[in-house]
């Protein structure tokens, strides 16, 4: 064998050995598979993991609404999802279909172009409304970043100024976590209209709860009266279980049923969630505000974004009980609070303040 052929043989052998050594190292150096994306409305207990901004994080103790990397409750487990593994790569998932049954782990592309991963089995709930059943998903792992508090037109400092004596249950993080259920809320029209709607919602909420002090209806004698037994589903949680709860004091079994169906949460059987989970409580308030005419002729959301005025939001909530001379003092109380909140946000109130 010539000297040149011998050198070539040694070179080939060295290259093969080098690749054999390097391959496992490269594999082990790949970033870990990302856990399910962090969700600000989800509860995590010690030892549970979530991914956020390309890193896996582990909860040290109970947490909700505390952002990984910005709160000491989370331990950084390192980077994840660098395009390898089942969580990485480009997206090629089916379009979401309403009414199609999904199981936990299914990934879909929603009509807004974003991807969502089922966190619980569901019969085709909307990923942007039924957020308990779906988590945002990123094809590179780590989940999509949840909306930041800065995306809401009311800052946390302004919120605290509006409600200086609020019950600790009504958290700002709970409110911002609930915004994903109705993305059009305080996010439609001009910046002025957005702030006017936020001020109007919070003013009515303030009136209903004594400045976010009361979580549940204070007159316990009313509790048994909110069961409409003529409904086919009845009152499975009990005759007296559907009293007013939350920021707009959701009441009656049919309202708990309707709100729960819209949000993908079984509130008919679990009405107490509205007084124990801040995000759920805020979502029920937003459900009523954005989808229910109540005793009025339009939703409170439409009243504000279409120029009907603050007075029509009062009508949608309490109708003739307050409007048309029913209780002018209560109407004026709501108007005064709205004017105060609008001033705090630096916007005019618009017309048609009363009803």
Judge whether 156 counts as a catalytic residue: no
Query: What are phi and psi for residue 305, nearest 5 degrees?
Result: -85, -20
Q: Which of 208, 217, 312, 322 is flagged as catalytic?
A: 208
CA distances from 350 to 106, 119, 238, 304 (A): 46, 42, 44, 9
**Long-range contacts of 227-236, Cβ-Cβ distance < 8 Å, separation of 24 or more:** 227/252, 227/253, 228/252, 228/253, 228/254, 231/257, 233/257, 233/268, 236/268, 236/269
Radius of gyration from C-alpha coordinates of the chain: 26
First to last CA, the chain: 104
Angstrom distance (rounded) from CA 79 to CA 218: 49
Alpha carbon 328 to chain centroid, angstroms: 35
Q: Report, as residue numbers or ranges, the catalytic residues.
A: 208
């Amino acid at each position: 064998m010539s000297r040149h052929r011998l050198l070539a043989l040694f070179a080939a052998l060295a290259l093969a050995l080098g690749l054999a050594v390097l391959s496992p190292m490269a594999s082990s150096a790949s970033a870990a598979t990302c856990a399910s994306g962090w969700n600000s409305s989800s509860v995590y207990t010690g030892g549970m993991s979530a991914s956020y901004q390309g890193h896996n994080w582990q909860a040290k103790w109970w947490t909700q609404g505390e952002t990984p990397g910005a709160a000491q409750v989370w331990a950084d487990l390192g980077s994840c999802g660098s395009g390898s593994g089942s969580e990485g790569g480009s997206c090629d998932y089916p379009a979401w279909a309403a009414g199609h049954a999904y199981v936990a782990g299914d990934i879909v592309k929603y009509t807004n172009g974003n991807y969502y991963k089922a966190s619980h089995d569901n019969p085709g709930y909307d990923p942007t409304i039924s957020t308990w059943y779906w988590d945002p998903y990123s094809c590179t792992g780590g989940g999509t970043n949840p909306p930041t508090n800065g995306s809401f037109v009311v800052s946390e400092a302004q919120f605290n100024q509006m409600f200086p004596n609020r019950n600790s249950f009504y958290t700002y993080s709970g409110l911002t976590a609930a915004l994903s259920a109705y993305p059009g809320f305080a996010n439609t029209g001009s910046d002025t209209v957005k702030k006017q709607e936020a001020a109007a919602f919070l003013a009515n909420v303030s009136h209903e709860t004594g400045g976010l002090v009361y979580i549940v209806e204070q007159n316990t004698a009313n509790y048994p009266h909110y069961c409409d037994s003529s409904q086919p589903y009845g009152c499975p949680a009990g005759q007296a279980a559907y009293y007013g709860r939350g920021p707009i004091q959701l009441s009656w079994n049919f309202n708990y049923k309707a709100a729960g169906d819209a949000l993908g949460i079984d509130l008919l059987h679990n009405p107490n969630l509205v007084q124990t989970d801040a995000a759920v409580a805020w979502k029920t308030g937003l459900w009523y505000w954005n989808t229910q005419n109540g005793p009025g002729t339009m939703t409170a959301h439409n009243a504000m974004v279409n120029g009907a005025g603050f007075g029509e939001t009062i009508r949608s909530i309490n109708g003739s009980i307050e409007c048309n001379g029913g209780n002018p003092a209560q109407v004026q109380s709501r108007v005064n609070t709205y004017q105060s909140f609008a001033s705090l946000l630096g916007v005019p109130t618009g017309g048609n303040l009363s009803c």
